[in-house]
């Protein structure tokens, strides 16, 4: 098979805003944002695992968040860039299912990791004496493994099932990657029942974790306001504000995408929210967590010093 020929089971990705006049500039900006996200998250992982002072539950969870962001953007952007700059718009049925599986797995795992990060801060601030027992390294790694396993199991179900819906007519996906909500729009069957299942699943995987995060930070702030140490209060608020910023950037767009029926979205809305949530946010996360974090900055200086004098 060569040229522009494609199998009858292939999908066609129309790409990112295909009717936009300056699509080359737009796609180049997305690739640039991906490069920054890749480098920033890779650097953060190297700093955390290379500096023994950062081998604590908080930074272990942060390294997992960076690993998820790194993999998530790599699942989406390279294929999008290849299709746009080569003019090849097709993606195979298996390729589409694989991309959808990894995207969902990583997104669900990130949701759970962010919840664990909030719980970690809650224990550290509200139960500091019990923190070494509740959040020791072994328990932390078990929690991380549970997040990955939970995300994988849920993603498998929500990839296999919608991929078997019959598709009638056009196989054009009005998006720049394969995602369950846009795949449902291609089906000639009534998918309203499954869409309801998606909404219910989203309540479990988005609303419940978001509620737990909100409850954790409510208790944290109540504890912080009772602190006598101004320095301690500022340190806790700096750490918490970074995490809350990331939580807002992650949960806001995803709640809109997955907790409303796909018929209420335009392709342009889906694409804009996907770029913001899945490309720009992973690019910003390393900056958000490092600019106000003295431990990370110290590890960065230590690494730079080593590189200069090697």
Is residue 3 left, alpha or beta, with left meaning phi > 0 and alpha meaning psi from -120 to 50?
A: left
4, pLDDT greater than 60: no
Query: How many residues comprise the chain?
Result: 310
The structure tokens listed for 193 are: 């029942």
Q: What is the DSSP letter of 16?
A: S
pLDDT digits (tens, 9 = 90+) for 98-133: 999 999 999 999 999 999 999 999 998 899 889 999
Residue 84 has pLDDT above 70, yes or no: yes
User: Could you read off the pLDDT of 221-279 as tens digits, one per residue?
Assistant: 888 888 777 777 777 777 788 888 888 888 888 887 777 655 566 777 778 888 888 89
Give yes or no for a contact between 275 and 16, defined as CB atoms under 8 angstroms apart. yes
For residues 162 and 187, give the distance between their C-alpha atoms in angstroms, rounded to a whole number: 9
pLDDT of residue 201: 81
pLDDT confidence of residue 8:
61
Reported pTM: 0.88
H or E segment and range at residue 208: helix 208-224
Tokens linked to 30: 């997305």
Q: Contact 270/175 with Cβ under 8 angstroms?
A: yes
The runs of H, that is alpha helices, within 51-136 are: 57-86, 93-126, 131-134
Rounded distance between C-alpha atoms, residue 148 and residue 136, angstroms: 19
Residues 6+ apart with CB under 8 A from 237: 224
**Is the distance from CB of 151 to CB of 105 less than 8 angstroms?**
yes
- Domains of the chain (ranges plus CATH)? 10-308 (1.20.1070.10)
């Amino acid at each position: 098979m060569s040229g522009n020929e494609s199998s009858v089971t292939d999908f066609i990705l129309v790409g990112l805003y295909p009717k936009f006049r300056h699509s080359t500039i737009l796609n180049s900006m997305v690739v640039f944002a991906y490069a920054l996200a890749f480098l920033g998250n890779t650097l953060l992982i190297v700093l955390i695992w290379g500096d023994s002072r950062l081998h604590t539950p908080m930074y272990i969870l942060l390294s997992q968040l960076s690993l998820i962001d790194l993999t998530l953007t790599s699942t989406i952007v390279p294929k999008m860039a290849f299709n746009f700059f080569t003019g090849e718009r097709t993606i195979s049925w298996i390729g589409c299912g694989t991309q959808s599986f990894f995207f969902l797995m990583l997104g669900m795992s990130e949701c759970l990791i962010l919840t664990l990060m909030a719980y970690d801060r809650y224990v550290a601030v509200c139960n500091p004496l019990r923190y070494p027992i509740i959040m020791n390294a072994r328990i932390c790694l078990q929690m991380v493994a549970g997040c990955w396993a939970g995300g994988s199991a849920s993603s498998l179900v929500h990839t296999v099932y919608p991929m078997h819906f019959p598709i009638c007519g056009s196989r054009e996906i009005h998006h720049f990657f394969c995602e369950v909500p846009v795949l449902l729009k291609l089906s000639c069957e009534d998918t309203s029942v499954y869409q309801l299942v998606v909404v219910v699943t989203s309540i479990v995987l988005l609303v419940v974790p978001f509620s737990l995060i909100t409850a954790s930070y409510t208790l944290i702030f109540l504890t912080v306001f009772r602190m006598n140490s101004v320095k301690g209060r500022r340190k806790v608020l700096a750490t918490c504000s970074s995490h809350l910023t990331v939580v807002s950037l992650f949960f806001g767009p995803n709640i809109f995408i997955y907790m409303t029926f796909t018929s209420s979205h335009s392709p342009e809305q889906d694409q804009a929210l996907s770029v913001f949530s899945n490309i720009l946010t992973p690019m910003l996360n390393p900056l958000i967590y490092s600019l106000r974090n003295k431990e990370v900055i110290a590890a960065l200086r230590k690494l730079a010093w080593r590189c200069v004098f090697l």
